[in-house]
């Protein structure tokens, strides 16, 4: 009744981001191949606060994967050659997919394939599974030998896959680009032009480690994919360049291990980030990164996390949300 000024609590920061038609509750995602459905991390973190978890890439047919060893430590990095091990699409749909409804956050399903048809078949089957809000296309896995180049290695074949998948899938489609290309820009641009709703980058960088004692590669597969902080400058650069030529959201990843690392990606032009390798060391890394992002929003007076996107990149081509709204 009396005219009292009630001190207003600052409105909670808005951490949500949009990836095509999907809205994620936060801009921090578990990267493909490092998380299964998240059960194993259950007690060690709080998956419910993640923006999404990305499933390990699913192939049309079952794959036993590569021989052992599949992993090697490198300076500030990890080299892996798992070889897309997985149950194949049918087994996945029957035995794994039903449990997706128990995942406490959004799920991004990842499709991998060795032909356009395989991609379309797998992606179409994943469209509409419980909790799945988007389909990532692993067009870049460097571990698997294909005749000729990977799909992500040239703009034309990438565009072909993306366009074909888009025709059959209603959920947002997110091709995941690989860093082993001469110029990421035409590839990123081709993805957008073919209808991609967002792009993920980067996948692992090709590498090889030799066991000098045995005079043999450490990995049974010889070459593998390099991940972890060692590749972070390469990944930030890729996001920086892609963000100057596409207007769709970018999911940045590669070597994020703490909050400032994630901010580098956002400032370079990513809308969200994903974390893979660092989970192996710190199962709660996603939460730490989320908190660092919140602190940065507070420090800069941002209400929506999207205001951080592209902040350091003068050529950022994406939409810049008006600050402070």
Partner 1 sequence: MSQSGPYLEPATLVRREFLPPGFWYLTLRAPQIAAAAKSAQFVALDLPGTFMVRLPLGIYTVQDDTFSLLFQEWGERTRRLASLAEGTAVSCIGPLGNSFRLPEERTTRATLVAGGLGVAAMWLLARELHNAGMDATILLGARSANLLVGMRELQIFGFPLDVCTDDGSSGFRGTVIQRLQALAPPGVLYGCGPPGMLRALCAYANDHGITCEVSLEETFGCSLGTCWGCVVPVRRGCPQGTGYPRAESETRSFDVARVCADGTVFRAADLVWQT
Ligand X SMILES: Cc1cc2nc3c(=O)[nH]c(=O)nc-3n(C[C@H](O)[C@H](O)[C@H](O)COP(=O)(O)O)c2cc1C
Just list the catalytic residues.
Answer: 141
Stretch touching its own copies by CB under 8 A, among 84-92, 159-167, 168-176, 178-186 = 178-186
Binding letters toward its own copies, positions 27-66, x by CB under 8 A: ----------------------------------------
Closest-CA residue to 206 (of 142, 257, 144): 142
Taking the C-alpha atoms of residue 204 and residue 313, their distance in angstroms, rounded to an integer, is 23
Q: How many alpha carbons fall within 13 Å on the CB side of residue 256?
A: 36
Token readout for 275 is 């974390």
Please spell the DSSP secondary structure of 102-152, one letter per residue: G-SSEEEEEEE-SSHHHHHHHHHHHTT-TTEEEEEEE---TTS--SSS-GG
Q: Are 116 and 164 in contact (CB under 8 A)?
A: yes
Can you list the positions of beta strands (E) in 205-300?
205-208, 210-211, 216-217, 223-227, 250-253, 272-275
Binding mask 145-174 for its own copies (x = CB under 8 A): ----x---xx--------------------
Binding mask 50-79 for partner 1 (x = CB under 8 A): ------x----xxxxx-xxxxxxxxxxxx-
**Of the candidates 75, 147, 322, 325, which one interacts with its own copies according to CB under 8 A?**
75
Residues of this chain, 240-269, that bind ligand X according to CB under 6 A? 253-256
Candidates 52, 82, 123, 159; binder of ligand X (CB under 6 A) is 82
Q: Does residue number 180 form part of the binding site for ligand X (CB under 6 A)?
A: no
Interface stretch with its own copies, choices 103-111, 115-123, 166-174, 181-189 (CB under 8 A): 181-189
With beta carbons less than 8 A apart as the criterion, state whether 140 and 177 touch.
yes
Residue found by looking up tokens 């990164």 in the block: 289
Task: Pick the binder of its own copies from 222, 247, 280, 323 (CB under 8 A).
Answer: 222
Handedness of CA 115, 252, 108, 206 (dihedral sign): positive
Calpha distance 88→78 (Å, rounded): 26
In angstroms, give the least distance from the CB of 68 to its own copies. 18
Q: Is 48 in the site for partner 1 (CB under 8 A)?
A: no
Binding partner of residue 284 among its own copies, ligand X, partner 1, none, CB under 5 to 8 Å per kind?
partner 1
Is residue 32 within the footprint of ligand X (CB under 6 A)?
yes
Closest CB 36 distance from partner 1, rounded Å: 5
Q: Is 27 a residue that touches ligand X (CB under 6 A)?
A: no
Instruction: Identify which of residues 284 and 291 has a Cβ nearer to partner 1 in the complex.
Output: 284
Q: Which of 126, 128, 121 is nearest to 161 (CA)?
A: 121
Q: Where are the alpha helices (DSSP H) in 144-269?
A: 155-168, 184-193, 232-242, 259-268
Under the rule (CB under 8 A), what is the footprint of partner 1? 33-36, 39-44, 56, 61-65, 67-78, 80, 82, 85-88, 90-91, 228-229, 277, 279-284
Under the rule (CB under 6 A), what is the footprint of ligand X? 31-34, 56-57, 78, 80, 82, 84, 110, 138, 141, 176, 203-204, 227-228, 253-256, 275-278
């Amino acid at each position: 009744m009396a005219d009292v000024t009630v001190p207003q609590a600052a409105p909670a920061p808005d951490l949500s981001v949009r990836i095509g038609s999907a809205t994620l509750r936060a801009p921090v995602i578990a990267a493909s191949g490092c998380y299964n459905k998240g059960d194993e991390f259950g007690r060690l973190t709080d998956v419910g606060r993640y923006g999404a978890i990305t499933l390990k890439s699913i192939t049309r047919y079952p794959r036993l994967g590569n021989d052992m060893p599949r992993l090697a430590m490198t300076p500030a990095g990890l080299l892996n050659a798992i070889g897309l091990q997985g149950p194949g699409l049918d087994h996945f749909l029957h035995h794994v997919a039903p449990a997706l409804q128990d995942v406490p956050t959004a799920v991004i399903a990842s499709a991998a394939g060795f032909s356009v048809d395989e991609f379309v078949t797998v992606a179409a089957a994943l469209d509409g599974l419980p909790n799945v809000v988007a389909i990532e296309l692993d067009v870049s896995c460097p571990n698997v030998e294909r005749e000729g180049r990977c799909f992500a290695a040239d703009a034309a074949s990438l565009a072909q896959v993306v366009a074909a998948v888009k025709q059959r899938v209603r959920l947002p489609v997110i091709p995941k680009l690989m860093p082993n290309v001469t110029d990421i820009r035409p590839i990123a641009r081709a993805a957008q032009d073919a209808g991609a709703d967002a792009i993920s980058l980067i996948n692992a960088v090709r590498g090889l480690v030799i066991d000098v004692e045995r005079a043999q590669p450490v990995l049974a597969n010889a070459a593998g994919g390099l991940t972890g902080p060692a590749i972070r400058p390469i990944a930030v650069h890729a996001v920086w360049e892609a963000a100057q030529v596409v207007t769709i959201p970018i999911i940045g990843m590669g070597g994020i291990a703490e909050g400032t690392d994630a901010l580098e990606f956002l400032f370079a032009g990513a809308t969200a980030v994903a974390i893979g390798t660092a989970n192996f060391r710190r199962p709660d890394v996603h939460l730490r990164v989320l908190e660092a992002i919140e602190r940065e929003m507070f420090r800069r007076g941002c209400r929506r996390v999207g205001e951080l996107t592209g902040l350091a990149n003068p050529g950022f081509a994406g939409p810049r949300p008006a600050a402070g709204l």
